[in-house]
Amino acid sequence: MILTQSLATPTAGAPTTSEGTPMAATARSAPHPLYPLRFEPIYQYRPWGGRRLEELLSAPLPAGLVGEAWLLSDREDHQSRVADGALRGQTIAELRTRWPTQLLGSLAARFPRFPLLLKFLDARQVLSVQVHPSDRQAAEVGPGECGKTEAWVVLEASPDSFIYAGLKSGTTADDLRRAVAGTTVGDCLASFTPHVGDGVLLPAGTVHALGSGTVVFEVQQNSDLTYRLFDWDRADPATGQRRELQVDRALACTDFAAGPVVPVVPVGEDLLHCEQFGVQRWSGQTRVRVGAEDTARVVVCLSGAGRLEYDNRVFPLRMGDVLLVPAVVGACEFQPDPTAILLEVSLPEVSTP
């Protein structure tokens, strides 16, 4: 696995001042209540999951098959909580409600909740073949729903790993329906062999499945609308039952004109970019500026370690850590160690309809 050892800190997961004093002792004297915020991961059982997230995250995994770690979630049923500092235990919804502009800047009036959902995924087995609706299609489900464009950054892949992404050219709705009924759906799907570091952008309407033996970081619109097209006739070990399919809805949402998807070609530090989010990637020892004025940013440490410096305080960042940099915090300096690989995720540039 490419993810290496983390940097030792005075208190695991606790931001400190430049003198090493725990941040909780000094945060209340800050000119505003927000600071770079670390959240506790929310682990999710998945029948295709495994145990490899233990190598990436410091928080212990629950027993069983863990397929996802939700790193930053503003969903009613899964609320991320601040892991340390003066705001420890606060949910992201509570922060957004109390300090909307300080948290999201100019986007506060556009989004009723934090607009992105961030995860790590461990695919021990292949995921279901699925598709997500566009913003327009999601709005038909109910008010406040948004579509789900998502992207993956590959963290681990084996020689046998694969990713299904998009349909083979010329595939029609009738072709796909027949393939699902005949359990030959894989014959309709475009695929490629992923490599560590690949970025894969999956616009809403793309039929896709993450193949076995793959660990990825995922960023997506804040939506949980997923329509399963096929699940490999697999029974869920927890229930002994096959999971529900939504074939008609999946076909209705599929973009049959899109064709195959391949890994994106980065442009400098810009790894991924679409209307809904952007992802930049840095590696090496050079200090970088993260965060931005008047908008929130999210920093993700994929490998190594480093430290974020803000308001004369130091916020250690270890492998697997995610920090939300509120709009009011603005730009900060990040000092990486030699093995650090860092992602910075930007929020939407325009409003979601």
- Here the tokens at position 328 are 């009011």
Instruction: Point out the catalytic residue in the list 52, 228, 297, 318.
Output: 228
String of b and e for 36-52 (b: at least 16 CB within 10 Å)? bbbbbbbbbebbbbbeb
The helix/strand/coil state of 143 is coil
DSSP labels for 74-117? Answer: EETTEE-BB-SSTTTT-BHHHHHHHSHHHHHGGGTTT-SS-SEE
228 an active-site residue? yes
Of 132, 148, 134, 137, which Cα lies nearest the Cα of 226? 132
Task: Report the amino acid identity of residue 217.
Answer: F
Q: Are 327 and 103 in contact (CB under 8 A)?
A: yes
* Cα 268 to Cα 82, 135, 262, 274, distances in angstroms: 32, 30, 18, 16
User: What gap in Å lies between CA 332 and CA 305, rounded to an integer?
Assistant: 16
Rounded to a whole number of angstroms, the CA Rg of the chain reads: 20
Per-residue HEC secondary structure of 146-202 comes to CCCCEEEEEEEECCCCCEEEEECCCCCHHHHHHHHHCCCHHHHEEEECCCCCCEEEE
Active-site residue set: 228
